[in-house]
Structure 1
Amino acid sequence: MAKKIKAAEEEVKTIADDKAKQILADAMRYGAIDYVAEYTLSVINLDSEEYKGRIIGKDGRNIRAFEIATGVDVDLEEEGVIRLSSFDAVRREVARLSLEQLIKDGRIQPQRIEEIVKKTREEIEKTIFKAGEELAHRVGVFNLPSEITTALGRFKYRYSYGQNMIVHTLEETKIGVALAHELEVDVNVVKLGCLLHDIGKVVTDREGSHVELGVELLKKYHFPQKVIDCVAAHHEDIPFPSIEAIIVYISDAVSGGRPGARHEDFEEYLKRIKTIEDAAKTKKGVREVYALQAGRELRVIVKPDEMTDDETTVLAEKIKEELENKFEVFPGQIKITVIRETRAEATTKI
């Protein structure tokens, strides 16, 4: 009798294992999405090399104004093309669209550059919101708060370990929903948990891990506690509070763990660049911060009404000391440039 019971148990276990594998395989099939990798470089093709002279401007004024306004590196060395590089894909896209418009317009000078860049940024913000709506709608989620929708739209220009976050989120959500149906748990909780699990990665104005920032953002808009728990547990920072949270965790691992999905080195690079920029962002009087040349140069633009020329020297020294404390070992040096610019304008009467 004991042998029969043991044999029956083994058979049930084998069937259960096979069924579990089949469920997971089906879920992965639902989540499969074709994707072509993108990198940190944008290329603009030129009809004539003459454009490069206009882009550089007298004494390099135009190219300097463009790099300050956009926060990207401009490489003009290769014939027939301009290369724009930045770890931040939003900055790079703003720069690409702005430069294309300036070339088309023909009027390339510092004031015009600032006008075009400002207008392009406003257009990109609309594109980001639309991308957030489309992402949510593709997984059947509607009427999210505007801040949440905008954050989701930033996934379009954000990568996690080299994997585009819209692609990763779509994959994970499809896998999670398929598993939730099979296991007969709350599909809506899993759907929202998968959709919003990485939302903290695009919160850049506060300190904290992406899990902490994501939980904080969802609490702000009073999302259901079960959804918040899914986000809080998706890196095992807390014990799994529900089956739904386990499904979100598994779905995240399946999407991120498939062959070719991610590249560890790229994520470490992004973390290093963010650390460099954060060293200056928190300082009083700072308006914009751009890490350039793969982190070898830090360009800090300050508010002229809040800082004197002498204070910019002190600021540069403080940033230098903070970076030296944060990085015990760093490949090469980091050049810190603090820019304080004042302007006076007047308009004549006709």
Structure 2
Amino acid sequence: MVVKIMATGIVGFLVGAALTFVLKGRVDSRRAEEAEEEAEKIIRDAGLRAENLLMEANVEAKDRLIKMKSEFDAETNETRVELKGLDKRLNQKTEKLDRRQDQIERIENDLSQRSKQLSEDTDTLAGKNRECDALISEQKMQLEKISGMTSEEAKGLLLSAMENDARHDGAKLIKRVTSEAKESADKEAKKIIATAIQRYAGDFVAERTVSVVPLPNDEMKGRIIGREGRNIRALEAATGIDLIIDDTPEAVILSGFNPVRREVARLSLTKLINDGRIHPARIEEVVKTVEKEVDQTIREAGDQAAFDLGVHGISNDLIAILGRLKFRTSYAQNVLQHSVEVGFLCGVMAAELGLNVKLAKRMGLLHDIGKAVDHEVEGPHAVIGANLAKKYGENPKIVQGIAAHHEDVPPESVYDLLVQAADSLSGARPGARKELLENYVKRLDDLEKIANGYKGVANSYAIQAGRELRVIVEGDVVRDEDAVVMSRDIAKQIEETLTFPGQIRVTVIRETRAVGYANK
């Protein structure tokens, strides 16, 4: 349509131009004719051009119309396909919703039926419960008439029986667990002891393996060290003890596990300091002199211990080893004094029993002889001591008593038990190992009070200086299984309420006595 308008405008423009030309040519008729012919020609040409343009415009318009129609048809087809897909999915969803609606209706009907059935069952169950309650009440009344007890009394009796059964089963379980634990006790005990030794080793070394020598002034430290350290090296080589010279004012520390060598080093250094002459040759001379003095002191201490107990005929070498115990301590108790005390106690008890007093004293005096060399020989000190006694020709009974006093080997005679008892008494008596008498007496009293608080206990005795608590129970009140439970309960209460060193053994003794009388 736009092309057609443009063609018409062009034609009009040409016609106007032609008319203008004709009007101007009126002046000259010839020229007017020519102009008229030219105008006609132009008009014809313009008409032809206009027709051509119109035809081209129509063709172009038709092409555009066809193209637009094709595009419209394509878009319409796509839209139809999408609408068909949407319509299909919509139909599928509608079908699913219909099926779900049917399922919901069926479930609602089922639930309604079940609710109705449940309501009926509830009513029936309530009726049966009422019947059961009535029957139970009737049975309780009949049982109370038959047994002559109320329901509360019967309940208490039943609970008591159940408690006794539970205690009985618990005691059996405890005995079984205890027996199983004993099988692995040795291994576990060694593990615990090893751990304790590791934790205590530092404190023990600092306390038991160190001696301090006072100095008149700090200048003496330089003289002890000597030129290029020759004096201190000579002293360490001669005594076998390490000298520690640090910032400690006016003091030198001697460190070593052998108490005899440490004493030799202490006396030698003290003599050298007092003498003032400190050089390698003098050091060796003084150390040899002090060694002889210490050996004489050791021998005198051993002879004095044997003399105090009236024990004779001990080998000189064994006397020397016994004297070395003067420089050993156990829980702050001097081992030589402890050995003499054990000898006296063994003699007293042997005399009361009508046994060989001299043999008992000798056994008690030598029972800890292994502690004199246990830092040089591997093994328990009881076994080491027994080997030493055997080596120096002691009686086999004495060898056995030494080996058995800590039950490293089983005891075989009354003397073995006497040594064990005397050893425990000497170590546990008040004051022997820095324990106040008041605390000792109070702990014994508390132990007996705890035991006497349990039902069925006839008597209780704290023995072995509070290391063991023996509880005598009435046989008709406490059963064997109850005795096991009681021992564990008492031990647990002692752990919770008392503070004590080491361990306390709780022994519950149950016996049945039958007494009969014969009359004439």
Structure 1 and Structure 2 fold alike (TM over 0.5): yes
Do residues 230 (structure 1) and 401 (structure 2) align?
yes
* Deviation for aligned residue 1:124: 1.2
- 1:19 equivalent in structure 2: none
* Deviation for aligned residue 1:217: 2.2
Return the match for 1:79 from 219, 235, 249.
249
Return the match for 2:236 from 62, 67, 77.
67
- TM-score after normalising by structure 2: 0.40
Any residues of structure 2 matched to 1:1-350 within 5 Å, and which? 39-70=208-239, 71-203=241-373, 206-258=377-429, 261=432
CA distance in 2, matches of 1:251, 1:73: 40
User: Which residue identity lines up with residue 197 of structure 1 in the other structure?
Assistant: H
Secondary structure class of the residue paired with 1:124: helix
CA distance in 2, matches of 1:92, 1:39: 11
User: Which residue identity lines up with residue 269 of structure 2 in the other structure?
Assistant: L
Secondary structure class of the residue paired with 1:195: helix
* Deviation for aligned residue 1:259: 5.2
2:383–2:408 CA contact under 8 A, matched in 1: no
Secondary structure class of the residue paired with 1:235: coil
Secondary structure class of the residue paired with 1:180: helix
CA distance in 2, matches of 1:222, 1:47: 49
CA distance in 2, matches of 1:60, 1:97: 20
CA distance in 2, matches of 1:200, 1:42: 23
Higher normalized contact order (CA 8 Å, seq sep 6+, divided by chain length): 1
Which deviates more, 187-196 or 169-178?
169-178
Secondary structure class of the residue paired with 2:411: coil
CA distance in 2, matches of 1:262, 1:153: 21
* Deviation for aligned residue 1:244: 1.6
- Per-residue Cα deviation, 1:255-284 (whole angstroms, up to 9, x for no partner): 123456459xxxxxxxxxxxxxxxxxxxxx
* Deviation for aligned residue 1:60: 2.5
CA distance in 2, matches of 1:203, 1:86: 14
CA distance in 1, matches of 2:232, 2:392: 43
2:309–2:343 CA contact under 8 A, matched in 1: yes
CA distance in 2, matches of 1:79, 1:220: 47
* Deviation for aligned residue 1:93: 1.1
- 2:146 equivalent in structure 1: none
Secondary structure class of the residue paired with 2:400: helix
Secondary structure class of the residue paired with 2:277: coil
- Per-residue Cα deviation, 1:310-349 (whole angstroms, up to 9, x for no partner): xxxxxxxxxxxxxxxxxxxxxxxxxxxxxxxxxxxxxxxx
Question: Can you give the 5+ residue segments of structure 1 that lack an aligned partner in the other structure?
Answer: 1-37, 264-350
* Deviation for aligned residue 1:206: 4.5
Instruction: Report the number of matched residues.
Output: 226
- 2:204 equivalent in structure 1: none
User: Which residue identity lines up with residue 228 of structure 2 in the other structure?
Assistant: D
* Deviation for aligned residue 1:162: 3.7
User: Which residue identity lines up with residue 187 of structure 1 in the other structure?
Assistant: V
User: Which residue identity lines up with residue 239 of structure 1 in the other structure?
Assistant: P
Secondary structure class of the residue paired with 1:173: helix
Secondary structure class of the residue paired with 1:43: strand
- Per-residue Cα deviation, 1:91-127 (whole angstroms, up to 9, x for no partner): 2211111112212222212232223222222221121
Secondary structure class of the residue paired with 2:322: helix
* Deviation for aligned residue 1:228: 2.0
Which has more radius of gyration?
Answer: 2
User: Which residue identity lines up with residue 213 of structure 2 in the other structure?
Assistant: I
CA distance in 2, matches of 1:233, 1:192: 15
CA distance in 2, matches of 1:90, 1:130: 14
* Deviation for aligned residue 1:185: 1.8
Secondary structure class of the residue paired with 2:213: strand
- 1:33 equivalent in structure 2: none
- TM-score after normalising by structure 1: 0.59
Structure with higher helix content: 2
CA distance in 2, matches of 1:221, 1:60: 43
User: Which residue identity lines up with residue 125 of structure 1 in the other structure?
Assistant: D
2:215–2:273 CA contact under 8 A, matched in 1: no
Question: Can you give the 5+ residue segments of structure 2 that lack an aligned partner in the other structure?
Answer: 1-206, 435-520
2:403–2:409 CA contact under 8 A, matched in 1: yes
* Deviation for aligned residue 1:196: 0.7
CA distance in 2, matches of 1:45, 1:151: 29
1:196–1:231 CA contact under 8 A, matched in 2: yes
1:190–1:245 CA contact under 8 A, matched in 2: no
1:72–1:95 CA contact under 8 A, matched in 2: no
1:169–1:195 CA contact under 8 A, matched in 2: yes
CA distance in 1, matches of 2:367, 2:306: 13
**Relative to structure 1, is the Cα distance of residues 39 and 206 closer, same or farther in structure 2, using a 3 angstrom cutoff?**
closer
* Deviation for aligned residue 1:144: 1.4
Structure 1 vs Structure 2 CA RMSD: 2.4
Secondary structure class of the residue paired with 2:304: helix
- 1:301 equivalent in structure 2: none
* Deviation for aligned residue 1:226: 2.1
